[in-house]
Structure 1
Amino acid sequence: MTTPQTATRVFFAFPHLTDPRRHGDYNAWHQLDHRPENLALPGVIHGDRWVRSPDCRAAGTADEWLREADYMAMYWFAEPAKQSIKQWRELGDTTLQQGRRPDLEWTSRPLMGTFRPVRGYVHPRVRISAAALPFRPHTGIQVFVTAVDDANGPQAETLFDWYDRVRIPQLLGTSGVAGAWSFRSETVSVAGADGSPQPLTDSTIRIILCYLDAEPVEVAREMAAREPGWTAAEPPPAGAARERVLLASPLRTIQPWQWDWFDRRDGDGQPR
C-alpha cells in the first residue's frame, strides 16, 4: 500500500477566482462534489485544500505569478502513479461531460502540476510518522514556493543540503508547526500572457509545506518576526544556488459550509 512516505507523485494547484462573487459557488462545488469524487478514486491516497483568505494574504508575500492565488489544492497519488494520474484525469473529463465543472468559467490556475515528494519532517512533540502527518487535523499551513534555476548542479545541492539541515529545522522550531513536507516539481505549467497554461521549463519549483496546529496568521507573524523579509535567520552558505520566492504565506484549513472569508468586511467596508 502506498503512503505519503512512499508516494512518488503529488499534484499541486493554486486556483484564482476570476469572478470574486463566486467563492461560495466554488467552495460548494469543490467540497461537496469535486473533492469527494477525487478521494473516492483508488489511486488517490489523500487530498486537501486550503484558502488564502484576506488576512492570510496580508500576512504573507507573493510574486506576480502567485499574487492572485486564492486557494491551494493538493492530491497524493498511489503507485503506480502513472495509472493513478490517468484515472484522476479521466474523472475530470467525465464530470465535465456530465456538466459538473462550473468552475471552468470563473477559475484560473496560475501554477499547477505534478511534483515529487522529497522528505517529510515531524516535530518531536507530535510523535507521529511523517507518513501520517498529512492526515493529522490541522488549522492550516504555511507554504513556501520558490523557483530554483539549474536545480541539478552542485550549487543546487548546496542549497538543498542547507534546507534539510538548517532551514526546515528552523521552521519546525516555530510555535505551532507540527511538521513539514518538501517537494520538487516534475511537470508544471504557469499562466501565460493570455492566461492559458504554458509549460515551465527553465526553473525547478520547490515547495515547503508546514502543517500547523495553531492560528495560521499568528504562526506566519512569528516566522516573519524571526526572519525579516521571509529570509532564514541563518542564510544559505556562499556558493548555494539562488532561488526566487514565488509565495510565502499562511493558508487556512477549509471547514464545511464556512466559506465567508471573502464576504467579511471591517468598519471601513473593506474585506478583512
Structure 2
Amino acid sequence: MFAELAFFSFVELTDPTQHGAYNRWHLFDHRPENLALPGVAWGERWAVIDDAAAGNAADPGFAGTDYVAMYWFRSPVDASVAAWDALGEASFQWGRGPIIPGVRRPLLAFFRPVKGYAAPSALVAPDVLPFRPNRGVRVVVTRFDDPHTPEVHAAHEYEDRTLIPGILDVEGVAGVWTFSYSHPQRHSSLPFEESPERGPGSMRVRLVYLDGDPGEASRRLLEVEASAPAVGERLLATTAAAIDPFAYPGL
C-alpha cells in the first residue's frame, strides 16, 4: 500500500462571504505547502454539490458540510505527521494559518486505509486512483457505537463482496477506497470543540472516485447504495466535485 494513514477534514463555511478567501488560501497556499512535504503522498479537496437528487443527507452536525479534504501519509507515519503538524504551526506563525472567520470543522481525524478497488475502466491499480484526475467523489461516513460486533463484521463483508463490486459497475465510477477511524487530530493552531472520544474502527469512510458527471453518477450510485444493510449511524452521504482553481466562483 502506497500510504499507511489518511487524514479527512470536513469543513463548513458559516459565513458565505468567506468562500473566496478560504479557497484562495487552501488552493494556492495551504495545499501546495503540504504536498511539498516528503511524507505527504497526496492531498486533494472537493466542493459538495448542491443537488438533492444526488443524495446529500447527513447527521445535523455534518449537514452544512461545504468541502471535503484528505491527505495520504507515507511511512514512517509518525515522522510524516510530525512534519505536517510542524508546518501547520509554522504557517500560523507566518500569519498564513487556518484561522479564517466562519470556518467550522465538524471532523478532523486520521483514518487507516482498509482496501482499494479500481474499476476495469480506470485501467490502473487501486494505489494509483488518488493520483488519477477525477471529476469528484461520493463520500459516505458511518459511525458504529460498537465497531466489533458480528453485525458490523457482516456489514463490512457485504460492502467488500457485494456493495463495492456493484459500485464498480456503475457508469462514471473509477474506483473506491475504504477507511477505518484511527484517532482525532488535535493541533495547537486550531480551536477544537469538545467531542466524545471514539475508539479505533468506530467510523468508516467510503470514498468513491468519479470520472463521470458527479451528479449523474451519484444518482446511479443511490440505487446501489439502497441495497446495503442499515448498520451503524449514517453521518454523511454526499457528493463533491473536483475544484478547478482558476474556474471556481469567487477566485
TM-score (norm 2): 0.90
Distance change in 2, residues 1:200/1:175 (3 Å): farther
Deviations 1:218-243 (A, max 9, x none): 1111222x25xx522xx43xxxx821
- Amino-acid identity (%): 40
- Equivalent residue, structure 2, for 1:98: 94
- Equivalent residue, structure 2, for 1:214: 212
Aligned residue for 1:245, secondary structure, equals strand
In the alignment of these two chains, the number of paired residues is: 246
CA distance in 2, matches of 1:9, 1:56: 32
- Equivalent residue, structure 1, for 2:240: 251
- Equivalent residue, structure 2, for 1:137: 133
- Consecutive unaligned residues of structure 1, counting only runs of 5 or more, are 264-272
CA distance in 1, matches of 2:54, 2:160: 28
| Structure 1 moving runs of 4+ over 6 Å | none
Q: Is the 8 A contact 1:59 1:217 kept in 2?
A: no
- Equivalent residue, structure 2, for 1:122: 118
Aligned residue for 2:165, secondary structure, equals helix
Q: How does 1:3-42 map to 2 (within 5 A)?
A: 5-42=1-38
The answer to whether residue 56 in structure 2 is matched with residue 60 in structure 1 is: yes
Structure with max Cα Rg: 1
Q: How does 1:179-198 map to 2 (within 5 A)?
A: 179-188=175-184, 196-198=193-195
Q: Is the 8 A contact 2:54 2:216 kept in 1?
A: no
Structure 1 residue 111 displacement after superposition:
1.1
Tell me which amino acid in the other structure corresponds to 1:206.
R
Query: Which one is further off, 202-211 or 170-179?
Result: 202-211
Tell me which amino acid in the other structure corresponds to 1:163.
E
Q: Alpha carbon RMSD of aligned pairs, Å?
A: 2.3
Structure 1 residue 59 displacement after superposition:
4.1
Query: Which one is further off, 55-64 or 37-46?
Result: 55-64
CA distance in 2, matches of 1:56, 1:38: 33
Tell me which amino acid in the other structure corresponds to 1:198.
S
CA distance in 2, matches of 1:195, 1:68: 17
CA distance in 2, matches of 1:100, 1:179: 35
Q: Is the 8 A contact 2:54 2:239 kept in 1?
A: no
CA distance in 2, matches of 1:200, 1:189: 12
Deviations 1:139-189 (A, max 9, x none): 001111111221123322211111100111111121100100000101137
TM-score (norm 1): 0.84
Tell me which amino acid in the other structure corresponds to 1:253.
A
